[in-house]
Chains A and B, each alone.
Chain A
Amino acid sequence: MIIGENIHKSFGDLEVLKGIDLQVQPKEVVVLVGVSGSGKSTLLRCFNFLEEMNSGKITIDGHTINPKKDKLANIRAEVGMVFQHFNLFPHKTVLENVIEAPIIVKKMDKEKAKQLGRSLLEKVGLADKAEVYPSKLSGGQKQRVAIARALAMEPKVLLFDEPTSALDPELVGEVLQVMKQLAEEGMTMVVVTHEMKFAKEVADRVIMLDKGVIIEDADPKTFFENPKNERTRQFIQLVE
């Protein structure tokens, strides 16, 4: 579904990604973990070209992307992203947040978009909040709206950049619940998170990044019970 080959990325002198190879199969849920600064968020952002790679190749659904020639906006429309800080549009209602991109980018008919928006809000359990502004929502509700907003573009793969890190602990569950439901429905997902419980329960594969390289890539059971890398072991001890 999405293949990254030999991805290199530097910020000035600092090399953040040192040749990452990563393949995500359709319907697969891949969880990326690692200490902060390990490059996991940067890798995620390279996948939808919010971050420009220094070198490397990304193939989405069989199509290798040429950032110089391809319209990146069209590619991003196929790769949904959910951010740590939600980034909802504060001047638009919840429903308007969800239907903005389908209307503007896909030129979807407004009534049709509203129907789609309402059904997605229902899916994330926020049908009753359609007409309110984001400032009236809790963090967990905001993040669920952000997920509905990403889904409205019917992406082929959904990227999550620490979706629960900015939430109060009691609000984390409702967001993970929605993500779990998406995974069960067969959505292809790449998730950067510190929620090890989610990794154990939902992920098909857990990948550990350390200093810009992948040092562990295994199914959750192997990853948590029998990691081959010493640093992975230390990391697991640290977070559990």
Chain B
Amino acid sequence: METLRTIFDIFMTTYPGFLEAVVITLELTAISVVLGTVLGLFFALMKISNSKILQGIANLYITIIRGTPLLVQIMFLYFGITQLIILDNFWAGAIALGVHNGAYIAEIFRGAIQGIDSGQTEASRALGMTNNQAMRRIVFPQALRRSIPPLGNQFIITLKDSSLVWMIGVAELFSVANRSAASSFKQFETFIVVGFYYLVLVMIFTYIVRWYENRLDVDKA
């Protein structure tokens, strides 16, 4: 009972600061999701291209990103990029998250594109479309639809992973909670509160993705 009360008190006293931090967390997530999707599409197309060189570049990128911890990538990019150009830690973190996501999203797109029945491409070509037209008009729109559930999943992972940029001093949700916990000495209760924030955010996100999926499914196979 005592603990519940403490948790509630912490919630009531911290929420103005936490809500500000939620906005930063959402901004980080949004930027890295957009960047990751663009990179992902780009590398997926490279991977399914006929060029061995493009395939090689895409494979290298995906192997390195998937083979190293996100935290290492964040530190690497932060200390690497900020040596070359002036960039605040928010943008360094957002770019690191975006580049990280790109590798996973590339694999989602590649799988979805290759999962479309080859008859679709054949029918398009038989109608006189070029490979580009067939991809743009016929294959990709179907692949995109199929990518939405795994993409939604990836976006949720991104939202949670954004807590790692705490390490380079971005004032997102986890970072603010950590500071608050350290100053109040109520670590246990504070992290329950911050966990609750993440949980609610993820649930909202899940709901949006599901709603969108259902909307796409209406009438269409």
Query: Given contacts A133-B219, A135-B220, A135-B221, are A87 and B122 in contact (CB under 8 A)?
Result: yes
- Of chain B, the residue at the smallest CB distance from A48 is B126
Q: Verify if B127 is at the interface (C-beta below 8 Å from A).
A: yes
Which residues on the B side are within 8 Å of A91 (C-beta)? 141-142, 145, 220
Query: Given contacts A105-B133, A135-B221, are A77 and B127 in contact (CB under 8 A)?
Result: yes
Q: Verify if B63 is at the interface (C-beta below 8 Å from A).
A: no
Q: Mark B120-159, 1 if CB is under 8 A from A, else 0.
A: 1011111111100100011001100100000000000000
Q: Is the CB of B119 within 8 A of A104?
A: no
Chain B interface extent, by class = 20 to 34
Q: Is the CB of B125 within 8 A of A50?
A: yes
Measured between alpha carbons, how far is A101 from B128 in the docked complex, in Å? Answer: 7
Measured between alpha carbons, how far is A100 from B128 in the docked complex, in Å? Answer: 11
Query: Given contacts A85-B119, A89-B120, A105-B133, are A136 and B219 in contact (CB under 8 A)?
Result: yes
Q: Is the CB of A134 within 8 A of B221?
A: yes
Q: Is the CB of A73 within 8 A of B122?
A: no
Which residues on the A side are within 8 Å of B142 (C-beta)? 89-91
Q: Mark A62-88, 1 if CB is under 8 A from B, else 0.
A: 000000000001101111110101011
Min CB–CB distance B115 → chain A (angstroms): 13
Measured between alpha carbons, how far is A85 from B142 in the docked complex, in Å? Answer: 18
Q: Is the CB of A149 within 8 A of B122?
A: no
Which residues on the A side are within 8 Å of B133 (C-beta)? 104-105
Measured between alpha carbons, how far is A104 from B145 in the docked complex, in Å? Answer: 21
| B137 partner, pick from A73, A100, A146, beta carbons under 8 A | A100
Q: Is the CB of B126 within 8 A of A104?
A: no
Q: Verify if A175 is at the interface (C-beta below 8 Å from B).
A: no
Among B117, B123, B126, B137, the one with the most A-chain Cβ atoms within 10 Å of its Cβ is B126
Which residues on the B side are within 8 Å of A87 (C-beta)? 117, 119-120, 122-123
| B127 partner, pick from A90, A100, A133, A134, beta carbons under 8 A | A100
- Of chain A, the residue at the smallest CB distance from B118 is A87
Q: Which of B132-189 contact A (CB under 8 A)?
A: 133, 137-138, 141-142, 145
Q: Is the CB of A90 within 8 A of B128?
A: no
| A153 partner, pick from B120, B127, B137, beta carbons under 8 A | B127
Which residues on the A side are within 8 Å of B124 (C-beta)? 101
- Of chain A, the residue at the smallest CB distance from B145 is A91
Measured between alpha carbons, how far is A137 from B128 in the docked complex, in Å? Answer: 25
Q: Enumerate the 8 nearest inter-chain pairs by beta-carbon distance, A residue then B residue, closest first.
A: A77-B128, A135-B221, A87-B123, A101-B127, A87-B119, A81-B126, A90-B221, A105-B128
- Give 24 pairs: A residue, B residue, CB < 8 Å, sorted on A: A50-B125, A74-B128, A76-B126, A77-B128, A83-B119, A83-B122, A83-B123, A85-B119, A88-B123, A89-B120, A89-B123, A89-B138, A90-B221, A91-B141, A91-B142, A91-B220, A101-B129, A104-B137, A106-B128, A133-B219, A134-B221, A136-B219, A146-B123, A149-B127
Chain A contacts to B: CB under 8 angstroms:
48, 50, 73-74, 76-81, 83, 85, 87-91, 100-101, 104-106, 132-136, 146, 149-150, 153
Chain B contacts to A: CB under 8 angstroms:
117, 119-120, 122-130, 133, 137-138, 141-142, 145, 219-221
